[in-house]
Amino acid sequence: MTVHSFQEHFDNLIDREITIEPKDWMPDDYRKTLIRQISQHAHSEIIGMLPEGNWITRAPSLRRKSVLLAKVQDEAGHGLYLYSAAETLGVTRDDLYDQLHSGKAKYSSIFNYPTLTWADMGAIGWLVDGAAIMNQVPLCRTSYGPYARAMVRVCKEESFHQRQGFEIMLTLSKGTEVQRKMAQDAFNRWWWPSLMMFGPPDAESPHTEQSVRWRIKRMTNDELRQKFIDVTVEQAKILGLTVPDKNLKWNEERGSYDSGAINWEEFWNVVKGNGPCNKQRLETRKKAWDEGKWVRDAAMANAEKRKQRKEKAAQAA
Amino acid sequence: MNNKNEWPLWEVFIRSKAGLDHKHAGSLHAADEKMAIENARDVYTRRQEGVSIWVVESKHIHASDPDESGSLYDPANDKIYRHPTFYNLPEEVKYM
Amino acid sequence: MKLAYTLRLADDALIIGHRLSEWCGHGPILEQDIALTNTALDHLGRARSLYQYAAQQFNELPEAEKQTAFTSVAIQNLVNAGAAVSEDDMAFLRDGWDFRNTLLVEQPNIDWAYTVARAFYFDTYNYFFCSALKNSADTTLAAIAEKSLKEATYHLRWSSEWVVRLGDGTDESHERMQKAINELWSYTGEMFVASDAEKAMADQGIGVDVSKLKSLWMQRVQETLADATLAMPQAGWMQQGGKDGRHSENLGYILTELQFMQRAYPGMEW
């Protein structure tokens, strides 16, 4: 086949919604875009362990502690599934880590915000995981097989995350005055960053059109954001919390909420590294990786030694 | 760009319950086969997904070439006589 | 005495689980981060079963004994209010000197080698301990031990393999592992010296005679260290006190984090 016919064949598969698999021919752009998106997603899971990990040792009950520990561990698992999916495209996990640690690769900016009180565990589960699920569910049918399969697993496991977050918020909202204050304070701090999670407005989003065609993305940033607002505002009512947006208003005609302007200047600054925790998050990850090097090397050295001993024993026999 | 000390990649196959086939679950890194099985247990069976685990180093998997899928799989398309529904039986023959 | 004994076991489980949980998000590689968290969750689960049982025993005590069982004002307030205590009250409201865990489990993580060495010493003990406790005359403790034994078997496999990997890995890992094995050695003796509660419970067939576990433990440790090309530490002075509530400075910091929420916001549902 000529390159032209390869491309035609690929386009044909995409149009017929047939899954692309690792050994199939694919355009370079497709491969690059996928590596970028999957690894960003994986990095987000791994960095995302840190703000919640903060509260594992301080969780207020043994039950909450177990749940939080299991949840943060799930995020490690999700990172692992996604790195594996990226590896089928011809990169190694070590390469991807290098990109993360050098600041070349991006991850979801939301994790550059601090977790200041226990209520943040509720707000993250409810809002951040809620927004993530909305982004992720459509990806279970994305065009690249390994990515789609990883996302099926992620979404299956993710379903308890949002619920446990909402449950924390519900308990706080039914609790004492200080607990309600804690819940509202967390809501105030996490609401806007959650809306930013869907990415820049469609008009300024360079990758959207191509990505939608490739089913790497299935709805636009603004569509998903609106859907999230409409669902979440109703949930906030159940919690008795006030949405921190004075311009929020039901629009009868659209059947959706109108909302205030997002501070995109803040968003771009956090993306560029000026968020409250960018430096700590990256340094924590680098430290764990660098301090783990001798451990990883030891395990390899030991495996190598044992292999050689086995071969020697086989030769002697 | 490749770190020769990166733990090798393994493919994990899990039998979800007795009597079923092992099915590909995903992959992971491990220094050796023992660790690969344990990592598979810790990563892929946290929610009671399995009763038995196989691991194989990814480099040992040999895969068919997708460009040859036409010659490999299409010839089976017209062998419909291999399927039981190809045969018409009188209604009276209930179980066959 | 059975209450003190139950708490003795629960505190070991909670504190080692707490230490391991500190690794979550900071492990040397994702796969092992996940593995260690599984173990932390096992310990935490065991701690919960034991604290639930302890709370139940506490709530059945005569009123006068409830008042004096622990120094904690927070617990005394609960008793005065006529409220039943829960697993969480046992974990989050007792003062440091009422904790009965061994000094070993509260030692800091430091690095992967120390974490592995501490786990290995404890897992070896816990494996033989659960094997024996499974025959307890107390059906609740026996049931908890039976479940825990399966977990402990896996924990021991994990930590033994890592002792070997690091001991017989690179020069650096060998040195680090040997150092950790040596440094933590002085905290191992305490496991086999029975406290009053342990003696009383062993006499009644409820608890385990820990002094009898020592030779089994020694033999297993010796074998694994030999596999790992590591030297067995010399017998020597052993630190003690945890079982009587005299702890290392570490416990205070652990409880500061662990109990922060319950102490800062008393009497609330979370």
| Mean pLDDT for all residues in chain A | 94
Q: Do B7 and A300 touch (CB under 8 A)?
A: yes
The single-letter code of the amino acid at A270 is V
Q: Is A234 on the interface with B (CB under 8 A)?
A: no
Residues of chain C in contact with residue A66, where contact means CB-CB under 8 angstroms, are 41, 44-45, 48
- Per-residue pLDDT tens over the stretch B46-57: 888 899 999 999
CA pair distance A84, A214, nearest whole angstrom = 20
CA pair distance A179, C51, nearest whole angstrom = 26
CA pair distance A199, B71, nearest whole angstrom = 45
The single-letter code of the amino acid at A212 is V
Give pLDDT, residue A205.
77
Give me the residue from B29, B38, B46 closest to C29, CB to CB.
Answer: B29
Other C-beta atoms within 10 Å of C106: how many? Answer: 26
Using CB atoms, which chains have 3+ pairs under 8 A with A?
Answer: B, C
Task: Look at residue B4 and tell me if it is in a domain.
Answer: no
Give pLDDT, residue C216.
98
* 3-class DSSP state of C181: helix
Residue with tokens 């945890």: C242
Which ranges constitute the DSSP H helices of chain C? 2-21, 30-59, 63-69, 73-80, 87-92, 103-106, 112-133, 139-167, 171-185, 196-203, 214-227, 249-258, 260-264
Give me the residue from A94, A297, A306 closest to B32, CB to CB.
Answer: A306
Residues of chain A in contact with residue B43, where contact means CB-CB under 8 angstroms, are 77, 80
Q: Is A59 on the interface with C (CB under 8 A)?
A: yes
Q: Is C48 on the interface with A (CB under 8 A)?
A: yes
Distance from chain centroid for Cα A213: 22
Cβ atoms of A65 and C22 within 8 Å: the answer is: no
Task: Look at residue B32 and tell me if it is in a domain.
Answer: yes
Give the fold, CATH level 3, of C2-264. Ferritin (1.20.1260)
Distance from chain centroid for Cα A233: 22
- Per-residue pLDDT tens over the stretch B31-47: 999 999 999 999 999 88
**0.90 exceeded by pTM:** yes
CA pair distance A94, A270, nearest whole angstrom = 25
B95/chain A closest Cα distance in angstroms: 37
Residues of chain B in contact with residue C165, where contact means CB-CB under 8 angstroms, are 31
- Supply the ipTM of this predicted assembly: 0.96
CA pair distance A262, A226, nearest whole angstrom = 13
Q: Do C38 and B46 touch (CB under 8 A)?
A: yes
Query: Among all residues of chain C, which has the CA nearest to that of A42?
Result: C30
Give me the residue from A24, A25, A84 closest to B28, CB to CB.
Answer: A84
Residues of chain A in contact with residue C270, where contact means CB-CB under 8 angstroms, are 60-61, 64, 118, 168, 171-172
Task: Look at residue B91 and tell me if it is in a domain.
Answer: no
Task: Look at residue B93 and tell me if it is in a domain.
Answer: no
CA pair distance A101, A287, nearest whole angstrom = 10
Does the structure show a pLDDT above 50 at A227? yes
Q: Is C170 on the interface with B (CB under 8 A)?
A: no
Choose, out of A43, A65, A93, the residue to mutate when testing the contact with C (most C CBs < 10 Å). A65
What integer is the mean pLDDT of A192-200? 95
Q: Is A72 on the interface with C (CB under 8 A)?
A: yes
The single-letter code of the amino acid at B19 is G
What are the residue boundaries of the structural domains of chain C, listed by start?
2-264
* 3-class DSSP state of B27: strand
DSSP run (H or E) holding B39:
helix B33-44
Provide the percentage of residues in chain B whose pLDDT is more than 70. 96
| Mean pLDDT for all residues in chain C | 97
Task: Look at residue B92 and tell me if it is in a domain.
Answer: no
Give pLDDT, residue B91.
82
Domain assignment of residue B30, given as a range: 9-61+68-86
Burial class (CB in 10 A: 0-12, 13-18, 19+), A188: middle
DSSP chain A: --HHHHHHHHHHHHHTTPPB-TTS---HHHHHHHHHHHHHHHHHHHHHHHHHHTTTTT-SSHHHHHHHHHHHHHHHHHHHHHHHHHHTTT--HHHHHHHHHTT-S---GGGGS---STHHHHHIIIIIHHHHHHHHGGGGG-SBHHHHHHHHHHHHHHHHHHHHHHHHHHHHHTS-HHHHHHHHHHHHHHHHHHHHTT-S-GGG-TTHHHHHHTTS-SS-HHHHHHHHHHHHHHHHHHHTPPPS-TT-EEETTTTEEE-PPP-HHHHHHIIIIISTTHHHHHHHHHHHHHHTHHHHHHHHHHHHHHHHHHHHHHHH-
Q: Do A62 and C44 touch (CB under 8 A)?
A: yes
Q: Do C26 and A288 touch (CB under 8 A)?
A: yes
The radius of gyration of chain A's CA atoms, rounded to the nearest angstrom, is 22
Cβ atoms of B55 and B13 within 8 Å: the answer is: yes
What integer is the mean pLDDT of A70-90? 97
CA pair distance B86, C72, nearest whole angstrom = 80
Provide the percentage of residues in chain A whose pLDDT is more than 70. 98
Task: Look at residue B46 and tell me if it is in a domain.
Answer: yes
DSSP run (H or E) holding B36:
helix B33-44
Write out the two tokens for B94: 């209930």
Task: Look at residue B14 and tell me if it is in a domain.
Answer: yes
B88 falls in which pLDDT band (50, 70, 90)?
Answer: confident
Task: Look at residue B41 and tell me if it is in a domain.
Answer: yes
- Per-residue pLDDT tens over the stretch C134-173: 999 999 999 999 999 999 999 999 999 999 999 999 999 9
A133/chain B closest Cα distance in angstroms: 20
Write out the two tokens for A252: 């009868």
Domain count, chain B: 1
CA pair distance A298, C29, nearest whole angstrom = 13
Residue with tokens 């247990």: B41
Residues of chain A in contact with residue C261, where contact means CB-CB under 8 angstroms, are 58-60, 118
The residues on B that touch A, with CB distances below 8 Å, are 1-3, 5-7, 9, 26-29, 31-32, 35, 43, 46-47, 63, 65-67
Given the DSSP bridges, would you call strands B22-29 and B52-57 parallel, antiparallel or unpaired? unpaired
Does the structure show a pLDDT above 50 at C248? yes
Structure-derived torsion over alpha carbons of residues A80, A83, A89, A94, reported in degrees to the nearest 10 = -120
- Per-residue pLDDT tens over the stretch A245-297: 999 999 999 999 999 999 999 999 999 999 999 999 999 999 999 999 999 99
B68 falls in which pLDDT band (50, 70, 90)?
Answer: confident
- Per-residue pLDDT tens over the stretch A149-183: 999 999 988 888 999 999 999 999 999 999 999 99
CA pair distance A164, A128, nearest whole angstrom = 12
Write out the two tokens for C185: 């050695």
Q: Do A299 and C88 touch (CB under 8 A)?
A: no
Measured over the CA atoms of residue A111, residue A117, residue A118 and residue A119, the dihedral's sign is: negative
Give pLDDT, residue A33.
93
Q: Is C173 on the interface with A (CB under 8 A)?
A: yes
Smallest CA-to-CA distance from C213 within C141, C106, C130 is with C130
DSSP run (H or E) holding C213:
none
Choose, out of C29, C31, C42, C227, the residue to mutate when testing the contact with B (most B CBs < 10 Å). C31
Does the structure show a pLDDT above 60 at A105? yes
Choose, out of B38, B41, B45, B49, the residue to mutate when testing the contact with C (most C CBs < 10 Å). B38
Give pLDDT, residue B1.
41
